[in-house]
């Protein structure tokens, strides 16, 4: 029979392979490695119960609880944590154990592994939703410029994510995925809305040509708009409304591209890959979006007697 040390070494080796496979997006392989590691670790837990120091037993239990979470086995992880809590020395390591017990401190990978299982772990899902809800809602509000529609869109995005939760990748960029789902849903509704309308595809295609101009991606505005750091909440509310209206005035594609560039931080080349267009074309769209934003934002400033945008 293998000793505890050998079992844990095997578990650690498989865990490393699992982490590498997960990072590479090979989830089936990753799952196999992590489950193999967990099997060795569980054997080590059994052996540590039969004899050995309490310190070693605690370490083995902790490593096994972590592996359980890698596999999305939340119930098993909690059982191991409870088992450890009865052992002398547990209190000395309570911060580390507290992290294992509290889903809000888990990395995305553990939360996703717990959510993609059947049945999904509700506490892990709550933690995952809480972690990204505000960011998701913020993006949805910028897309829809409407509080209730933004709430519906954000919930709809979660609904879609959960419908396909078995395919979630614990090693992937979850917040980016969530934003993409919401943006795609919004684009689908926009696509339908413009069927045969004034925003029909053939009219949008005029935007495909790169817009050449002197403007860079960032246009500097001066004077006309309130200070972003103003303490006047009314002034800030008005500015938010102006920005929403300016965004609303953009054609859906331009709005999406502008937000992808400046909020998500995607490059023109990355956006181009999504749309199947060249980097140059996307740069043209961004310039056009900035130009239109500027025009929209100039109006309230001029009405208020403010200076012009430069």
Residues that bind other proteins (CB under 8 A): 28, 120, 122-123, 125-126, 129-130, 133-135, 137-139, 141-142, 147, 150-151, 155, 158-160, 162-167, 188-189, 191-192, 194-196, 200-201, 217-223, 225, 227-228, 236, 240, 243-244, 258-259, 262-263, 290, 293-294, 297
Shortest spacing between CB 226 and other proteins, in angstroms: 8
Burial readout 80-94 (b: 16 or more C-beta within 10 A, e: otherwise):
bbebbeeeeebeeee
Shortest spacing between CB 194 and other proteins, in angstroms: 8
Shortest spacing between CB 85 and other proteins, in angstroms: 25
Tell which residue, 185, 195, 177, 208, has the closest CA to residue 277. Answer: 208
CB-based contacts of 195, cutoff 8 Å, min separation 6:
none
CA-CA distance, 34 to 57, in Å (whole number)? 20
| Cα 164 to the center of its chain, rounded Å | 16
Q: Of 42 and 239, which has the nearer Cβ to other proteins?
A: 239
Q: Of 57 and 253, which has the nearer Cβ to other proteins?
A: 253
Shortest spacing between CB 10 and other proteins, in angstroms: 27
Structure-block tokens of residue 85 = 């809590």
Q: Assess contact for 298 and 308: CB atoms under 8 A.
A: yes
Q: Of 12 and 78, which has the nearer Cβ to other proteins?
A: 78
CA-CA distance, 61 to 80, in Å (whole number)? 6
Shortest spacing between CB 50 and other proteins, in angstroms: 39
Place of tokens 């959510």: 115
Q: Assess contact for 7 and 43: CB atoms under 8 A.
A: yes
Q: Of 34 and 137, which has the nearer Cβ to other proteins?
A: 137
CA-CA distance, 146 to 213, in Å (whole number)? 32
Q: Of 133 and 275, which has the nearer Cβ to other proteins?
A: 133
Q: Of 54 and 269, which has the nearer Cβ to other proteins?
A: 269
Shortest spacing between CB 283 and other proteins, in angstroms: 14
């Amino acid at each position: 029979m293998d000793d505890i040390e050998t079992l844990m070494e095997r578990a650690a080796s498989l865990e490393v392979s699992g982490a590498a496979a997960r990072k590479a997006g090979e989830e089936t392989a990753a799952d196999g490695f992590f489950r193999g590691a967990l099997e060795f670790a569980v054997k080590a837990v059994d052996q540590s119960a039969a004899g050995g120091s309490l310190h070693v037993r605690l370490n083995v239990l902790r490593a096994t609880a972590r592996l359980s979470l890698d596999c999305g086995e939340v119930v098993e992880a909690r059982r191991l944590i409870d088992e450890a809590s009865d052992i002398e020395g547990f209190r000395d390591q309570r911060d580390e154990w507290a992290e294992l017990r509290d889903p809000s401190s888990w990395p995305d990978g553990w939360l996703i592994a717990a959510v993609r299982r059947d049945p999904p772990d509700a506490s892990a899902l709550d933690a995952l939703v809480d972690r990204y809800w505000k960011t998701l809602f913020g993006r949805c509000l910028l897309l829809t410029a409407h509080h209730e529609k933004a709430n519906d869109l954000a919930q709809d995005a979660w609904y879609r994510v959960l419908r396909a939760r078995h395919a979630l990748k614990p090693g992937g960029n979850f917040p980016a995925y969530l934003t993409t789902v919401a943006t795609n849903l919004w684009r689908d509704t926009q696509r339908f809305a413009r069927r045969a309308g004034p925003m029909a595809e053939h009219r949008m295609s005029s935007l495909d040509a790169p817009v050449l101009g002197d403007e860079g991606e960032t246009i500097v505005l001066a004077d006309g708009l309130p200070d972003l750091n103003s303490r006047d909440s009314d002034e800030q509310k008005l500015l938010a409304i102006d920005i929403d209206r300016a965004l609303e005035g953009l054609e859906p594609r331009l709005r999406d591209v502008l937000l992808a560039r400046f909020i998500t931080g995607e490059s023109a080349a990355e956006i181009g890959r999504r749309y199947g267009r060249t980097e140059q074309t996307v740069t043209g769209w961004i310039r056009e979006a900035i130009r239109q934003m500027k025009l929209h934002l100039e109006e309230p400033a001029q009405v208020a007697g403010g200076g012009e945008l430069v």
